[in-house]
Amino acid sequence: MAVSAIFGAKVKRREDPRMITGRGRYTDDVKLPGMLYAAFVRSPHAHARIKGVNIEKAKKIKGVVCIYTGKDTEGKVAPVPCAWQIPNADLKVPKYNPLAVDKVRYVGDPVAVVVAETPYAARDAAEAVEVEYEPLPAVVNQVEATEEGAPQLYDDVPNNIAFRWTLQGGDVEKAFQEAEIVIEQDLINHRLQPTAIETRGAVANYDPSTGELTMWMTSQNPHIHRFLISVMTGVPEHKLRVIAPDVGGGFGSKIHVYGAEAVVAFLAKELCRPVKWMEDRRENYLATIHGRDHIQHVRVAAKRDGTILGIEVKTYANLGAYLSTAAPGIPTWLFGLMLCGPYRIQAVKCEVIGVLTNTAPVDAYRGAGRPEATYILERIIDILARELGMDPAEIRLRNFIPADAFPYQTAAGPVYDSGNYEQAFKRALELIEYEKLREEQRRAREEGKLLGIGISSYVEICGLGPSRGVRATGFGLGLWESTTVRVHPTGKVSVYTGGHPHGQGEETTFAQIVAEELGIPIDDVDIIHGDTGEIPFGMGTYGSRTTPVAGGAIALACRRIKEKARKIAAYILEAGEADVEFEAGKFYVRGSPEKSVPIQQVALASYAAGEGEIPPGMEPGLESTVFYDPENFTFPFGTHVALVEIDPETGQVKVLKYVAVDDCGRQINPMIVEGQVHGGIVQGIAQALWEEALYDKNGNLLTATLSDYAVPTAADVPSFVTDSTVTPSPHNPLGVKGVGETGTIASTPAIVNAVVDALAHLGVKHVDMPLRADKIWKILKEKDIAK
Amino acid sequence: MARKKQLLETAETYVSVSMKVNGVPCSAKIEPRTLLVHFLRDVLGLTGTHWGCDTGNCGACTVIMNGKSVKSCNIFAVQADGAEIITIEGLAKDGQLHPIQEAFWENHGLQCGFCTPGFIMQAYWLLQQNPNPTEEEVRRGISGNICRCTGYQNIVKAILTAAEKMKR
Ligand code: FES
Ligand code: FES
């Protein structure tokens, strides 16, 4: 592959000029003439029967146009579908009404919707709707929900168990028989609130003369939303256009289909007027999906030299009150498949019990299953090292899959495409000066200071994915990606991609791919995304898939264009096709570079299509549509190391140093790669130290505002040292792997390992996250350190 | 009759406000409870100012009011009556980006861009208060704004770069 200056360059982002001047266009910026505003009436109870809804008072409020209850929309808007129906797990998919009909099952469950002339009037009226509830006992903890006598959310889901899923590879029994040491540990991977700074929302506009319904919405995957909203509302798919304009962050929360957006579409059609709905932050926290929430038990079999023989995991995954779009697949496949991590573990067994509770639905949040798996491994390997008196660095080195073993199939199933775990690991340790830090730590301890060093090595699965692979897991559609690359007569290029970046910068990196492949200036390339009216089809942006899959599709489309262009060039140059070479945007005859024709001229010829322009019988035009279905997933990896200090008086943890070495294969734009890593690290640190979605036992969300949910600010985190190694993916057309989630996956265990390391000499073996000051202070108090 | 009643109600419940936004005088009749952020976005159509919470935490709505940075979701438009407001749309002059905008672009200080106008306005105020900030001071100075994408590192770098640029 030719290496040009553009691929791999730190090109400034092309999306920025509009965003730094206030010209970004987000869903709430869409304003249409005659637009109405919707507000949802949401349940204040975690579990209750709806006895009646009285809208009389609300209707009288000035500006109110109409009010619909769950009964009114029943049969008109179909239940929210679950799109990842995992097989062999006795999966139960209970009815998920867009507006609750008989029962509410979590605080925030929508009961009715109000439409008014102004947003303020809509909210006034929503508050004035009187709903009579008969409260029922609620259950929020997933283990308690499965116990005898627990409140039952559904008549047809006994013990609230939505599924039982198992995965086994290798001989687990033998591993435990041969073990010289067995370690067991309970771990909690607590619930998080994704917190995209832009909340969810939608604007819908119906044209009765054409039957077309256009929606602008906060979506990571407009085509999937079109497909599912079409199914829910009965608006035919070809008459429904979903536009996701600029999207203010998603982190998974804008993948899923929710009842609210479908109701907004329904309202626009019923009223024949545009309708807008935007969540406020509280609503976002109550009713947009949450992430993680595992209660885990892990057992590990090992030899005394630190070699891990087998691992056994049992997890209770909290799914919330309804099965969200991808909910069953996240704590099962995306979790269980990665339970060998970067290590040569020969036997693995995983059991996941998916449980419904009176809480907000839980689904994919940045990392989605992989952080939960990595956390288990990286905690347990540290605990094992401690037990064996080994250094946490040494035990990892002992267990890494060696660089010459790839492609490598793990006991859990996946075939890792490529890797050099030791190299990234050593680079990270070198950058943080590991040996020196250990020395410093020893000295600090003598002075009564609490310093800790935490290592976290990971490998993750992304580039979702080969369609046959994901279909076998019960995912509703294949996960290929499509693109149309169109070369215009002047040689300018429009790229229509099914990926839908919303912060990841692919308007820039995709243009870099095209500029490299076609040898044209980057300014001649436009990337169009996020509109079902323009793009063939798209699976969207999540799971770190956009660069490997959508980017791969674009590279392949460019190569097909070059094939055709080469034929045209050969014809123009009157040379044999095999003798025509392509470099830096020009076709030339091998051996006589003065006989050349630029791709722009070829493009013009392809449209002119006359004698001497394109070969007889060839179709005119120069464009290619590609549906790229990858042959395997991609497996980025790396090692992060953190140094923390605990204030012995307050229990406050401070991150002093942080080194991240990630390998995401070839990098198109290292500046953007770094940015993804930075953001991911902070989200992962936030889980380790501060953020926690908290319900009281009655199912009230205690963290329903940004005052209560502890998202870190710039003052809470340090600057990071980031570096990378480059191990290309052998099967990806560009050798890229994806980097959107690596930071989040790696950083949480790095921090927890560091904090436990700081307390290790006091006999502390494990502390559950988040490691907030009050929790650490209590431990220090018990140990007589804090006063 | 009904029309007259409606007009009366309107006269009773609406108030007029005037202010100068990005140097342009504007006035409108609004509900007294209209928040400044909604006034800017919905009445004036200046949608560059965003909002991300209901509690004054995220800073996406930050604008400059009479020389001070304020969270426009925490202020009624009527409180800004007679004020001079600068929003993100008012920062570039004659098609020339403000050095802070340039620095955000050059340093990859934004990803989804949703928090960006708020951060840029906060930086604008911060650098007026303290043209020579340390990294620590920048981090503290923007701690009323939340970014979920960038991890802050490049925002901090952008503001430090902007400080340098503005000295030139
Ligand atoms: S909208 Fe969050 S602080 Fe104003
Ligand atoms: S760039 Fe997305 S929230 Fe800051």
pLDDT reading at B13 higher than 90: no
**Least CA distance to B116: which residue of chain A?**
A20
C-alpha closest to that of A460 among A745, A661, A752: A745
| Pairing assessment for the beta strands A493-497 and A525-528 based on DSSP bridges | parallel
Instruction: Provide the b/e sequence for A668-689 (b: ≥16 CB within 10 Å).
Output: bbebbbbbbbbbbbbbbbbbbb
Q: Who among A20, A719, A743 is closest to B101 (CB)?
A: A20
Q: Which amino acid is at A223?
A: H
> Nearest CA to B22 among A314, A428, A773, A21?
A21
* Average pLDDT of the residues of chain B: 94
Of B65, B90, B115, the one marking the end of a domain is: B90
- Number of other CB atoms surrounding residue A173 within 10 Å: 13
| Shortest CA gap B59–chain A (Å) | 10
Is the domain of B16 the same as that of B86? yes
Query: Distance (Å) from the C-alpha of residue A649 to the closest C-alpha of chain B?
Result: 23
Q: What percent of chain A has pLDDT over 90?
A: 98
Cα A566 to middle of ligand 1, angstroms = 55
The 10 Å Cβ neighbour count of residue B18 is 12
Phi, psi of A784, rounded to the nearest 5 degrees: 70, 25
Which of B90, B112, B136 is the endpoint of a domain? Answer: B90
B86 and B103 share a domain? Answer: no
| Residues A516-537: tens digit of each pLDDT | 999 999 999 999 999 999 998 9
| Assigned domain for B6 exists | no
With bands split at pLDDT 50, 70 and 90, how would you rate the model's confidence at B1?
Answer: very low
Ligand 1 atom 3: residue of nearest CA = B56
Give one DSSP letter per residue of A351-410, joined into a string. EEEEEE-SS--B---TTTTHHHHHHHHHHHHHHHHHHHT--HHHHHHHHBPPGGG-SEE-
- B153 contacts in chain A (CB < 8 Å): 678, 719-720
pLDDT at residue A334 greater than cutoff 80: yes
Ligand 2 neighbours (beta carbon < 6 A)? A 197, 249, 503; B 110-116, 147-150
Residue B59 in domain: yes
| pLDDT class of A48 with cuts at 50, 70, 90 | very high
We report the CATH number of the domain holding residue B61 as: 3.10.20.30
Q: Which of B110, B135, B155 sits opposite A19 (nearest CB)?
A: B110
Closest-CA distance of chain A to residue B61, Å: 11
Q: Decide if B4 is inside a domain.
A: no
Closest ligand 2 atom, CA of A198?
Answer: 3
Domain boundary residue among B66, B90, B114? B90
The answer to whether the Cβ–Cβ distance between B54 and A26 falls below 8 Å is: no
Q: Domain check: are B119 and B84 in the same one?
A: no
Under the banding of pLDDT at 50, 70 and 90, the label for residue A784 is confident
pLDDT at A465: 82
Q: What is the pLDDT of residue B168?
A: 83
User: For A645-694, how does the pLDDT look when each residue is reduced to its tens digit (9 = 90+)?
Assistant: 999 999 999 999 999 999 999 999 999 999 999 999 999 999 999 999 99
Q: What is the pLDDT of residues A210-238, one digit of tens each?
A: 999 999 999 999 999 999 999 999 999 99
Are residues B146 and A717, on separate chains, in Cβ contact within 8 Å? no
* Whether residue B103 sits in one domain with residue B51: no
- pLDDT for B143: 98
pLDDT at B12 exceeding the cut of 70 = no
pLDDT score for A4: 55
Using the beta-carbon criterion (under 8 Å), do B45 and A17 form an inter-chain contact? Answer: no
The reply to whether B86 and B115 lie within a common domain is no
Chain A interface disruption, residue of B71, B149, B154, most A CBs within 10 A: B149
CATH of residue B124 = 1.10.150.120
Segment A749-764 shows an average pLDDT of 97
Given a contact cutoff of 8 angstroms between Cβ atoms, the answer to whether A401 and A420 are in contact is no
B85 Cβ contact list (under 8 Å, min separation 6): B19, B20, B21, B22, B36, B40, B63, B64, B65
A98 Cβ under 8 Å from any chain B Cβ: no
Percent of all residues in chain A with a pLDDT value above 70, rounded to a whole number? 99
Cross-chain Cβ contact B108/A675 below 8 Å: yes
Looking at chain B, how many residues does it have? Answer: 168
Q: Quote the CA–CA distance of B25 and B23 in Å, as a whole number.
A: 7
Average pLDDT estimate for A419-445: 97
pLDDT at B63 over 90: yes
Mean pLDDT of chain A, nearest integer:
97
Query: Where does A410-474 show beta strands of DSSP type E?
Result: 415-416, 450-459
Task: Give A330's contacts (C-beta < 8 A, 6+ positions apart).
Answer: A84, A362, A363, A364, A368, A369
The whole-number pLDDT of residue A499 equals 94
Residues framing ligand 1 (Cβ under 6 A): B 51-53, 56-61, 71, 73
Asked whether the predicted pLDDT for residue A5 surpasses 90, the reply is: no
Whether B103 and B140 map to the same domain: the answer is yes
* B61 domain residue, yes or no: yes
Q: Is the pLDDT of residue A1 over 50?
A: no
Q: Is residue B5 situated within a structural domain?
A: no
Q: Which amino acid is at A570?
A: A
Pair (B50, B105) in one structural domain: no
Residues 154-213 of A with CB under 8 A from B: 195-199
Query: Is the same domain home to B53 and B111?
Result: no
Shared domain check, B103 and B149: yes
The minimal CB distance from B150 to the residues A246, A280, A675 is found for: A675
Enclosing domain of residue B137:
99-167
Q: Is residue B41 part of a domain?
A: yes
Strand ranges (E), A629-705: 637-646, 653-663
Give the count of beta carbons closer than 10 Å to the beta carbon of residue A601.
18
B2 vs chain A: nearest CA distance in angstroms? Answer: 13
Out of B48, B50, B115, whose CB is closest to A23?
B48
CA of B34 to the centre of ligand 1 (A): 15
Q: Note the pLDDT tens digit of each residue in A570-625.
A: 999 999 999 999 999 999 999 998 999 999 999 999 999 999 999 999 999 999 99
pLDDT of residue A2: 42
Length of chain A: 787
Residue A148 exposed, middle or buried by CB count within 10 Å (0-12, 13-18, 19+): exposed
Say whether the ipTM exceeds 0.95. yes
Report whether pLDDT(A626) > 90. Answer: yes
Q: How far apart are CA A584 and CA A515, in angstroms?
A: 9
Selected residue of A10, A21, A123 to mutate for chain B interface (largest B Cβ count, 10 A): A21
Is residue B106 predicted with pLDDT exceeding 90? Answer: yes
For residue B57, being part of any structural domain is answered with yes
Per-residue confidence (pLDDT) for residue A3, from 0 to 100:
44
| pLDDT per position as a tens digit, A471-488 | 999 999 999 999 999 999
Asked whether residue B7 is assigned to any structural domain, the reply reads no
pLDDT digits (tens, 9 = 90+) for A59-114: 999 999 999 999 999 999 999 999 999 999 999 999 999 999 999 999 999 999 99
Count of structural domains, chain B: 2
Domains of chain A (ranges; CATH) run: 16-22+481-628 (3.30.365.10), 421-461+634-787 (3.30.365.10)
Is a pLDDT exceeding 70 seen at residue A248?
Answer: yes
Positive or negative CA dihedral for A133, A139, A142, A147? negative
